[in-house]
Structure 1
Amino acid sequence: MFKIRSTKNKTIKLLFAFSFLAQIIFAQEPSIKGIVVDDVNTPLEFASVALLKPQDSVMVSYSITDSKGQFEILDSPSGEFLMQIYFSGFLPYYTTINFKNEVIDLKSIQLKSNVESLNEVTITAVIPVQIKKDTIAYNANSFKIHHDDNIEDLLKKLPGVELDGEGNLSSQGNEITKIYVDGKEFFSGDPSIVLKNLSADAINKIEVIDKKSDEAELTGVSDDQKNYVINLTLKKSKKRNGFGKLSGGIGLDNKYFSNLNYNKFSPRTQVSIIGKYNNINVTGSNIKNFLSANGGLTDDSDDNGSTSSFDRRKRSLSGNLTSGVGGFHIGHELKDKEVINADYFYNYLENVGTSITKRTSFTKLKNFQSDINDDNNKTTHNQHLNFNYENKRNSTSRLLVKGNFTTEKTKSDLNRDVFYYNEDGELRTFNDIKFFDDRRRDNGNVRINYYKKLNENKRNFSTGFSFSSSKNENLKDQYNLNTNNSNNKTTETTILKNELFKNNNINFNFNYTEPLGGNHFLKVQSLFFVKHGSEKTDQVKFRNSVEQTPLNYSIKNKEESYNSKLSYNYNTPVFNFNIDSEIQHLYRSFGLVTEDFFKKNQTYFNPSASIRYRPKKGSQHLLRYRRQIRSPRASQTSPVINDLNPYYIRKGNTDLKTEKIDNLSFNSNIHNFKSSLSFFTKINYQHTQDAIIQSLVIDDDYVQTRSFLNKGSQDRLTAELSLNKRVKQLGFRYNLKTKGTYRTANSIIELELNDVTTKEYLLGASIENNRKSIFDIKFGANYTINKTEFSVVEGLDREYIKQHYYSKFDYDISKKLNVNTQFDYYTYSDSNFESNQNIPFWNASVSYTFTKNNNGILKLLLIDILDKNVNIVRRSTINYFEETTNQTLGRYVILSLTMRLNSQNAKNMKKKKKKRF
């Protein structure tokens, strides 16, 4: 009897608990919901629903209607708001909402068609988000910005738009390749320039556009060449008047900076000027690309292929960095749809810094340690000119002309001390290296493309031509003093080397598309590519003050490629399928001008295919396969031994074959506009046949001789996933990301095959608040682990871990006073180096707007408050791994003043706000 009652009591308790849980789960949460229909009660999908503050129309929350016209707002604070519903082609709908954390069901809301001319309400309505065709438009007035915010700060607040720490911009998981201003190019559309040099308060609307290729736009035949661009529409007041900013700051330890940007736009002409000069390691605009190619100094030991994917070798920009930028852009619309643009930049960079590298090198018989201490002084002058011409006046044709020219002068002084230790930790060899490099590079290119639509059935052809030329002059003066402790032998080597490299490339293509009926198309393509290169070298070498035989030679190389491709394309708005069959004939000749040339003549079959599926707006999937041929580099086939550095000697191999690369990739992007969920994934697999690998021999004096050969295959698999979701109930947004790389590589070390396998993983998570009208909070963490396995030596496998924790807090104490603080914490651990470190970085700023019209801003900057002054970079390669510690700028404090130029005054702003509704 007792057991029966006990069982019954348990059942009753379970039923009660289940009932209570069901009430929680199925209870209606406080929300504002409804259904949007047209004037015949048809549901409207992608209508924007927004809650606005009545006093300034700043957006509080928003939602998008689904396929049934339904919407629901879950994350609204309590209070009185103006609700706005908008759909293109209909008049906006307004109603006042007094939300008290309860369910408000507005039932069916009918929008009226805008059949008459636009009235004042329609013109001045603030529409936070609009979605139409391939464009998502955000109204800049619906987002809270500071007086000194630039475009970068504004874009970070847009739903679905992300900007990572390296300046890469994406929307709904798609990379943004260009940014336009009023539909026109601004400094060649380079996002890194636009983001930091236009004021956020000058922007009226931000459009994210799923842009087709130029050929697809004209002909209507879609392809898989998609670009995602952002178009910034200026406020009317900014189109009539010039605007910009002038700022400068000075601080402790003689630190300073200055910035200038000024813009003048009219319906036909756009003029912009940019200037920057500082010594606080801020590289400015249009300097990022040439820094990545020219920062720091390397030697031939670096030419062996890093197996790390996320933390590739960074060129040393440590220590003190003084940089200057000056540039201008001019764009002019000659006639409707006929535009010419040009921009010019001058960049100056002086880098003085030190770094310490610990390296473990290995062979089949031995491994050894080395310490490398670098003291670097480098100065670079760079000038860059871009221009382009577009003629889209004719509805059946399109002409595009683009070109650029760059000239660069660099002088580098490097003092390097290298200490070699045997397996027992004993110092065996010491190298004292002094290296001077005086280099000049000139290159330019011009590209012309013409597209022609032949009839309304989408029959079309296109043709293109490009020419590029480059010239590189190097004067290298190197001094080496080698001391061998085992035999007390000292060797002094001095080398003076003059090098001249020239390259000319010509590319011509012709494409013809024939409609087969319905959505089927046949395309014939022809491509002709010619590359001419030459190398001339004069080298004088002294060994222990005795002159060696001079090394004087001239090399020429030529490569010609003829490609014929036949393609079938099936094209609908939802589905696109393309399959290509290409025949490539490749001819190569190279060698010393005083000897017979080496000649290679080969024919290849290169198939490719792609499938693009777009089931609905905000969702698309792309699967692509491609076979391509890659020729050896000139340095890999050079018949001359490069011994500029006598301890890193490089030999070419004239018998090298081309590499055959099969590339398979899958991209998927899903963005749910109603729930604000973004999901992005990218998977890529690459298989290389006849892979060019290195053969390495290391003698007892630690002299490394490197050559190349074709051996087997290499594989690389990468995967990336990102999930971004707005949690309406809790009022925050979270972002999860993960990356993974698996790579196999080979080398020959001391005649033994070295198989290298690298596995690298990254996990990241961050949380930030949705409503940023008063404060902006963000915190997160990244965890990266690298595992590298070597077959040449047992027990030498490596594992290193990097952890990064960060937080950001931005708070508007008042309309004029703002505080901002950022804190980063790094931890480094390594299975092969005793250098586990914990490094905190703390930055902060306080800004105050001190003028009536908000044109003047005072800011106090505190950088690296804890003064840790260090940066760590790691990598693993096919025959060594290393860890480099770079000196950084360290702690400094700066007080700055920013003045907005020709800004609209506050009185005019208030007058416009009164007329808004």
Structure 2
Amino acid sequence: MKKILLLLWLCLPMLAAHAQTGGRFTLKGTVTDTSGTILPEATIMLLLPKDSSLVNFGRTAKDGSFEMKNLKRTTYIFKVSYVGYVPYQEIVDPKNQEVVDIGKAKMKVLQKELYEVVIKTARAPLSIRGDTVEFDAKAFKVPPGSSVEDLLRKLPGVQVDGDGNIRAQGEEIKRVTVDGKRFFGDDPKMATKNLPAEAINKVQVFNGKTEQAKATGVDDGKREKTMNLELKDSHKKGGFGKAVAGVGTDSRLEGKVSYNRFDEKQQFAVLGFGNNTNQSGIARNDYQDFKGSQSFNWGDDGDFGFSSGRYYGGDDITIQPNWGGQGSEGFTKNWAGGANYNFDTKKTKLSTSYFYNSTRSVTDVETSSENFLTNDSYITAGKNKTLGFTGNHRPAFRFEHNIDSLNTLILISNSRINGGDNDYSSETRSYRNENMLTNRSDVKNLSDYNSFAMANLLLYRHKFKKKGRNFAASVGYNINNSDEDRRQNSVNLFLQDSTKNSVINQLQQTESTRGNFKGSLSYVEPFAKKFFWETFYNYSMRKDKVDRDVFDVEGSGDKVNPFLTRYYTNDFTFNRLGTSVRYSHKGLNLALGLAGVQFDLKGKFALDESQQNMTRVDRTFKKLVPNVSLNYSLKNNKYLYAEYGLNVREPSITDLQPIVDNSNPLYIVEGNPDLIPQTTHNAYAGFNMFNPASFTNLYINAYYNYNEDQIVYNRTINADLVTTTKPMNISGGNNYGTYIGFGFPLKKTKATFGVNTGINFSNNLTYINNIKNETSTDGYNFGARLDLTPSDVFTLYTNANWNISETKYSINTNQNQKILNANYNADMNVKMPKEIYFNGRLNYRTYKNDQFGFNQQVPILTLSVYKLILKNKKGEIRLTANDVFKRNLGISQNANQNYYSERRVATLSRYFMLSFTYNMRGMSASVKRSGFY
């Protein structure tokens, strides 16, 4: 089957190329204005008269000329668009001519009195202005009821993978806005998966400036690929949405409802769903803002200055939820709902949302691993089962007010309230010397946890009258508190020495609190004409407290365990003072900077808070941090970038705690209060190119990372095969590689082909039983993609990826191994008579490791057929067969440090679902043009 699939996939480009030959003609001419002045880089298009669908496109040369070759012999609408001019169009009928020369296409200047008429009657399906590509959604046909994600797949130069991640012009889309406004925070998928395609007027793709550059007015040369979804006027005057209900075999149920109501100043959206089909719809990055990076806020983090040496707040001590997600492991029941409201005027912008989600999961896992020692190895095999529940409330608020043209105030507050429980049981067996059982452990743990986190930021910016001079100040306060009660029960048997057998019956009560106050200042002064000087200061003071009480449960009473009970406080103070000089002129941005960083770490720990004589930690670390960056926007949509920096990261509170974690009796974890900060040298460079005439894109990058005092987890394995890990500092680990991607249309609007390749070499160091082990991994990746969109009747999206990973161990070279993984995907859509549609999705994965005799193929096929019903095609009935071959296995393999592991998870497999969808379109309402009421 794999060979047939591969052969078919390789034949597709040849079939597409063959379709371009025979019975063709060439169209050429010159674009000028009515006075005869040439118009270079005008957007030219060919459309079919019957439905105005886009067939071909390009741009005129510097002398205004154009030439389109290999055109199918039929009648076309030839159309030209150019900024400031009325779009030009004429009918082209090639008849028997091999070359059709239309001569001069003369465009009229767009007068103000004609503007409204032109916009409504002469819109172009595609226009290109500099690095901005704008698509008229109406020109790209998708079935009624389709989402924005389905529409994006049809657009030239845009790809959407199976997880909903978007790439345009070869680059990843960093943000998606709706009418220029945020939509449910920072997850692009919330808009593309939940808004209907029919609501979209235009899709705009462009290189957006960073928040810092937009706020200060000083171009830092950095670009973020951005997509804006412009709504139709009809969808700004009323409400629209969708409701879905489905029932399936094996008691599978699903339901989803969304409703949206937008106008020029306001956006309102609600979303809710529930299912037991492993569909969570929640992105993993939704809670990263509580870690200090403020990723939710699109650069509004208030941490001014270059990125090197910046403080990111350390680890998140809150119990982290199991997010689940589409295709997630095990079996999950998910509920979620939320609302998003935006208000936007020239002076005030308000963005707020609330979202709740809960997941109840059942996970059955089988694991096996081979652990390599100096001269031999041992095998560990086990089974574990987890019953878990997590619920999250996540309100978010952002308020921006322009006090006047020179002063801006921003207030941001994000929160998360999390609670849940966990029931974990496992059986673990370890073998050595030809399958001789050495130890066994049976564990039963129960836990309940709650947490509260809040990130608050107040940001003030002032622009002086002198262009480029500005001042900014920020102050923030973050809270992250959690508490957990855990009951641990385990029986641990050591076959070689029964005196070490143990029974653990413990109650652990842990309370963790964190407060983090931070502030930053920035002053930018322009000098000369092209130079800017920035001075910045960053301050952060974080206070952590962990109170962990461990009791041995004996009979009816609980006795304090003095070896595991700990009270711990940690005060961390961060100071960074730096300066940088930036040269900015005609797309060239060069910056040189230097900062001094100081970490002050003060801590104390004891058995409990009441003890007078506590063990104390008082240490200070200082470091000079350089930064060099180059960003160069070349002509013709070419972009060159490079940067070197030094990142310093302090040890996490978890690693610093002098606490022994014995929740897994065969795998003991210890903290280390003697850790020092880790330093990483980071260097990367790259080149991007996008040709808007041919829609060819090229992406190349290279990177190198070197670690000093890297925090690694050394392992000690005793004779009974009990592993104890302890974090230590070690220098020498590195990682480097490169990536190249290239894409181009085989036939514009009909077939697109892309290839990518990458290599990565990594070297990781750690100690195994006090012997230094060096694990080297060489990774090689190759991928290819072919999208066929010949018409609205048939589309086919395919891609394939091959990965080779070679791992070598210095302490036991006999266990060197090679892992080969491959992934083939195909998504086909067919429109049949009487409004019936068919969709088939295939995901074929292979895993192979000859060293351990691992060879697995997993074909996942999903088929669905649906019919549009009701007036105006507002209804849809769909029958779906998920995992037709019943082969969905949660399989993973990993080679790292001194071990190789395999993991298999029982996962939701074949089921059938019958669903009904009702699309709410053009719901009338008494709505003022500038408001909801």
TM-score, normalising length: structure 2: 0.88
CA contact (8 A) 1:218 1:396 kept: no
Provide the residue aligned with 2:490 in structure 1: 480
* CA apart distance, 1:498: 0.9
Whether 1:103 aligns to 2:102 is no
Q: Distance in 2 between matches of 1:748 and 1:73?
A: 64
Provide the residue aligned with 2:380 in structure 1: 370
Q: Distance in 1 between matches of 2:331 and 2:806?
A: 33
* CA apart distance, 1:281: 1.3
Q: Read off the aligned partner of 1:761 and give its amino acid letter.
A: Y
CA contact (8 A) 2:341 2:351 kept: yes
Q: Read off the aligned partner of 1:112 and give its amino acid letter.
A: K
Q: Read off the aligned partner of 1:822 and give its amino acid letter.
A: R
* CA apart distance, 1:358: 1.3
Q: Distance in 2 between matches of 1:591 and 1:792?
A: 38
Provide the residue aligned with 1:131 in structure 2: 128
Q: Distance in 1 between matches of 2:629 and 2:95?
A: 52
Partner secondary structure for residue 170 of structure 1: strand
Whether 1:113 aligns to 2:109 is yes
CA contact (8 A) 2:576 2:597 kept: yes
* CA apart distance, 1:667: 2.6
Q: Distance in 2 between matches of 1:585 and 1:129?
A: 53
Equivalent residue for 1:63, pick from 58, 63, 67: 58
Equivalent residue for 1:346, pick from 343, 351, 356: 356
Provide the residue aligned with 2:509 in structure 1: 498
Q: Distance in 2 between matches of 1:627 and 1:419?
A: 44
In the TM superposition, what are the counterparts of 1:260-659 in structure 2 within 5 Å?
A: 260-285=257-282, 289=286, 317-333=328-344, 335-392=345-402, 394-487=404-497, 490-541=501-552, 549-550=561-562, 551-592=564-605, 594-659=613-678
Partner secondary structure for residue 185 of structure 2: helix
Partner secondary structure for residue 154 of structure 2: coil
CA contact (8 A) 2:24 2:71 kept: no
* CA apart distance, 1:521: 1.3
Q: Distance in 1 between matches of 2:835 and 2:94?
A: 29
Q: Distance in 2 between matches of 1:729 and 1:258?
A: 38
CA contact (8 A) 2:25 2:73 kept: no
690-699 or 669-678: bigger deviation: 690-699
Equivalent residue for 2:242, pick from 245, 262, 271: 245
786-795 or 640-649: bigger deviation: 640-649
Provide the residue aligned with 1:310 in structure 2: none
* CA apart distance, 1:458: 1.9
* CA apart distance, 1:125: 2.1
Equivalent residue for 2:139, pick from 138, 142, 156: 142
* CA apart distance, 1:816: 1.6
Partner secondary structure for residue 872 of structure 2: coil
Partner secondary structure for residue 902 of structure 1: strand
Q: Distance in 2 between matches of 1:821 and 1:388?
A: 42
Partner secondary structure for residue 903 of structure 1: strand
Deviation readout 1:460-517 (Å, 9 max, x if unpaired) = 1112222211012111112111223334564321221111111112221111111112
Whether 1:677 aligns to 2:696 is yes
* CA apart distance, 1:718: 3.3
CA contact (8 A) 1:493 1:544 kept: no
Equivalent residue for 1:73, pick from 68, 79, 84: 68
State the superposition RMSD in angstroms.
2.7
* CA apart distance, 1:28: 12
Q: Distance in 1 between matches of 2:584 and 2:355?
A: 42
590-599 or 370-379: bigger deviation: 590-599
Q: Read off the aligned partner of 2:411 and give its amino acid letter.
A: V
Provide the residue aligned with 2:870 in structure 1: 851
C-alpha distance 883-547 of structure 1, shift in aligned 2 (>3 A)? same
Q: Read off the aligned partner of 1:83 and give its amino acid letter.
A: F
721-730 or 147-156: bigger deviation: 721-730
CA contact (8 A) 1:57 1:126 kept: no
C-alpha distance 890-119 of structure 1, shift in aligned 2 (>3 A)? closer
CA contact (8 A) 2:860 2:888 kept: no
CA contact (8 A) 1:60 1:771 kept: no
167-176 or 180-189: bigger deviation: 167-176
TM-score, normalising length: structure 1: 0.89
* CA apart distance, 1:212: 1.5
Provide the residue aligned with 1:892 in structure 2: 911
Q: Read off the aligned partner of 2:340 and give its amino acid letter.
A: H
Provide the residue aligned with 1:179 in structure 2: 176
CA contact (8 A) 1:276 1:284 kept: no
Provide the residue aligned with 2:706 in structure 1: 687
Deviation readout 1:716-761 (Å, 9 max, x if unpaired) = 1132221111023895211111232211111111111001111112
CA contact (8 A) 1:47 1:64 kept: yes
CA contact (8 A) 1:869 1:890 kept: yes
Q: Read off the aligned partner of 2:864 and give its amino acid letter.
A: S
C-alpha distance 569-27 of structure 1, shift in aligned 2 (>3 A)? farther
Q: Distance in 2 between matches of 1:358 and 1:496?
A: 29
CA contact (8 A) 1:126 1:141 kept: no
Q: Distance in 2 between matches of 1:732 and 1:858?
A: 30
Q: Distance in 1 between matches of 2:327 and 2:755?
A: 31
Task: Return 5+ residue gaps in structure 2 as ranges.
Answer: 1-19, 292-323, 607-612, 925-933
Partner secondary structure for residue 198 of structure 2: helix
* CA apart distance, 1:823: 1.9
Task: Return 5+ residue gaps in structure 1 as ranges.
Answer: 1-24, 295-312, 906-917
Deviation readout 1:59-116 (Å, 9 max, x if unpaired) = 2222233434343434654432222110110000011123569432323322221134
C-alpha distance 329-81 of structure 1, shift in aligned 2 (>3 A)? same
Q: Distance in 1 between matches of 2:601 and 2:123?
A: 62
Q: Read off the aligned partner of 2:524 and give its amino acid letter.
A: T
CA contact (8 A) 2:77 2:91 kept: yes
252-261 or 213-222: bigger deviation: 213-222
Equivalent residue for 1:158, pick from 155, 158, 169: 155
C-alpha distance 420-339 of structure 1, shift in aligned 2 (>3 A)? same
CA contact (8 A) 1:75 1:730 kept: no
Q: Distance in 1 between matches of 2:604 and 2:372?
A: 33
CA contact (8 A) 1:71 1:674 kept: no
* CA apart distance, 1:871: 2.3
* CA apart distance, 1:214: 3.3
* CA apart distance, 1:291: 12
C-alpha distance 170-401 of structure 1, shift in aligned 2 (>3 A)? farther
CA contact (8 A) 1:495 1:644 kept: no
C-alpha distance 818-220 of structure 1, shift in aligned 2 (>3 A)? same
CA contact (8 A) 2:569 2:605 kept: yes
Partner secondary structure for residue 31 of structure 1: strand
Whether 1:227 aligns to 2:224 is yes
Partner secondary structure for residue 30 of structure 1: strand
Partner secondary structure for residue 853 of structure 1: helix
Q: Distance in 1 between matches of 2:182 and 2:289?
A: 24
Provide the residue aligned with 1:743 in structure 2: 762
Q: Read off the aligned partner of 1:240 and give its amino acid letter.
A: K
C-alpha distance 564-28 of structure 1, shift in aligned 2 (>3 A)? farther
How many residues align? The count is 862
C-alpha distance 829-806 of structure 1, shift in aligned 2 (>3 A)? same
Q: Distance in 2 between matches of 1:99 and 1:441?
A: 71
C-alpha distance 681-399 of structure 1, shift in aligned 2 (>3 A)? farther
In the TM superposition, what are the counterparts of 1:771-850 in structure 2 within 5 Å?
A: 771-814=790-833, 816-850=835-869
Q: Distance in 1 between matches of 2:119 and 2:534?
A: 46
